[in-house]
Structure 1
């Protein structure tokens, strides 16, 4: 019982520290997550014969090259397409009024013109408000130079913190492991491995799936000559954090743009073909290779965790949301298995003297079964 109170006090202290120092902790939490994501690559460089310092430096060179390429290639293209989208909005409204609205009224009897006017007025009003908010924000930054410098400092600290955490990652893990009470060590290491599997399957696997889908959609739509193809592909890949949502959102937007741009059924067929290729690649190649048979976080859990973390602890809470959700998921599975092996659940088939080792073995067996049932 006394040990339980120590655990509760420790968790309260951690939660209070995050709440009070959320803005200060942001670069450290971000650096920790980036170090966790980059550690497998650093380990791979070490297996190729590099020492840890050279391996970490090589990781940073790879990340720097990717960052520079995105700045030089992707970001200007996306900004250009956003500008083109803003310029095309009046033409889109005109096309809807002249072509789409009469067809809708002929098929359904519903007058779309009145709703279109309301949408236009709402967009104009919000656009003006957004401009006002932007002006206020810029004015606030100008008046609060110290806050702006602090924010820039925090952002600049992220790669520094990431470098040093990545450099000493294994030693830090060993030091934390040595602090765990010995009678908790076996269960703690098993739960830590399970948390790592869940986080790896989502943070590493799902993010790579999203990136690959975004590339497939963007390249396919761009080769079709579709306007805003790169932007649509980028948004579709980003929204793919929720299964099928990226496919649905991207397909609908691409179909509307294709009908507006080409006004032929061949364009519709081309868009459907691009997104079908993306779905086939995800089901046959991406998920089996990148996610494997590990149990990831449910999409609803991801959305709830991010919203709850942001509401409670701001930006730091958003960064901590997924790791904390993974830990909670593993702990809930542990509680479930222990409950199912308790007298409260079934006193007929459970020995009163079931040991923790027996429960842990059953827990491992049931998780293995869950992996096989839930593997994509």
Structure 2
């Protein structure tokens, strides 16, 4: 992890960026050289982060920190043991019917050979010779394959001991490791270090818990589809395919091969195998577009292109463990890049595009945003005519009067003189 101050006055941006990239290249080289120890350590970190809420729960009921860490690791071992037992137990049950399944597989292969012979005019003897040559090549490499197999078994056995041990110490010494980061990055505001560590924890835990939830939903969907098609051992095949989701983007597709072959062997029609593959593809579509986005959400924001590149690079560096570790490591690297001023552009590149980047006129808006082009002015003038319509009639004044003739009685004749209007006094 690297934290740097944004001091562009002292260090040019190009030098700062080159130093960061060089440090990252050295880190990748170190990771490749220490793969034997690093892979169990990375898996232990992921397990410790996922077990942290359980450890805190044990601590709240007044258990010691060491006891809480040990109990959390034991719970994780029990869950993994149950999953392994379920897979092995179902494999043994399926193996009891191996003779019948083998006969049907051989009949399917025989029909396939006849179809190839009829369609492509390839003699069966020629096909057998080619198969025999491939078998001889495989036997010639048996020594190397055995060495690689025993080496992998040795790594697995070492991992079964190291991973629980590392996970315990990571839980027990978690505050000790946090203070290490505070001491290692004194030049950086401690609040920023604390915030970045918390964000890494949130991102990784959201990914792990979301992955477990999605795996459970996918296992149920796979099993329902296999049961509808009448495939035996539906729970086994459905759960196995969901566990292969540890391999992002390709896990469900790989998991559909085994039940498809089983359906091809035990069913009378090949359409059952086609139906198995088609249903698993539907489940994979639902998982990638509906289930995972709504459960994991935007907390693990990695765009699909960078995710695929990360998976390929992880496989090149560490093989199968690298495929499993690729996405959580990439999410962690994004959080670190966002905290380093000189690497924020690369953190932006790893993240998901915003809605404004996916619009039709996104290019024009982007150029305007960065001041490359000016915002276009309105060429047409808009004329606004305002008319005032006043239909109310003009106010009128009505004057009413009465004309008094001499022949008529004078209305003022009985009034006192001072009450008579001046103009009428002369008439009295």
Q: Per the shorter chain, which TM-score range? A: 0.5 to 0.7
Match of residue 370, structure 2, among 346, 359, 364:
346
Secondary structure of the 1:69 match is helix
CA contact (8 A) 2:49 2:204 kept: no
Q: Distance in 2 between matches of 1:226 and 1:64?
A: 31
Q: Give the structure 2 partner of residue 173 of structure 1.
A: 178
Counterpart for residue 345 of structure 2? 335
Q: Provide the residue aligned with 1:294 in structure 2.
A: 299
Give the conservation status (yes or no) of the 8 Å contact 1:30–1:158. yes
Query: Which residues in structure 2 correspond to 1:131-210 (within 5 Å)?
Result: 133-138=141-146, 152-153=157-158, 155-185=160-190, 187-210=192-215
Residue 213 (str. 1) matches residue 218 (str. 2): yes
TM-score (norm: length of structure 1) = 0.63
Please give the per-residue CA displacement for 1:189-214, whole angstroms capped at 9, x wherever unaligned: 55544444443343331244224423
Q: Kindly state the Cα deviation for residue 77 of structure 1 after the two structures are TM-superposed.
A: 1.9
- 8 Å contact 2:253–2:281 — kept in the other structure? no
2:315 and 2:323 in contact (8 A); partners too: yes
Provide closer, same or farther for how the CA distance between residues 307 and 210 of structure 1 changes in structure 2, counting only shifts above 3 A. same
Q: Which of 66, 70, 84 is residue 53 of structure 1 equivalent to?
A: 66
Q: Which has the higher Rg, Structure 1 or Structure 2?
A: 2
Q: Deviations over 1:153-196 (max 9, x none)?
A: 45422211111112122431243134324545455555544444
Q: Which residue of 1 aligns with 2:399?
A: none
Change beyond 3 A, Cα 1:316–1:62: closer
* Distance change >3 Å, CA 214–CA 8, structure 1 → 2: same
Q: Deviations over 1:40-80 (max 9, x none)?
A: 33233334554422322221221232233234332232365
Decide whether the 8 Å contact of 2:44 with 2:167 is kept in 1.
yes
Report the 3-state secondary structure (helix = DSSP H, G, I; strand = E; otherwise coil) of the residue aligned with 1:157. helix
**Contact 1:18/1:313 (8 A) holds in 2:** no
Larger displacement relative to structure 2 (329-338 or 60-69) = 329-338
Partner of 1:28: 41
Q: Give TM-score scaled by structure 2 length.
A: 0.57
Q: Residues 162 and 336 (structure 1 numbering): CA distance in 2 closer, same or farther, change over 3 Å?
A: closer
CA apart distance, 1:291: 1.8
CA contact (8 A) 1:242 1:299 kept: no
2:237 aligned with 1:232: yes
Q: Structure 1 residues 260 and 58 mapped into 2: Cα distance closer, same or farther (>3 Å)?
A: same
How many pairs are equivalent?
Answer: 340
SS of the residue corresponding to residue 54 of structure 2 reads helix
Q: Which residue matches 2:330?
A: 325
**SS, match of residue 46 in structure 2:** helix
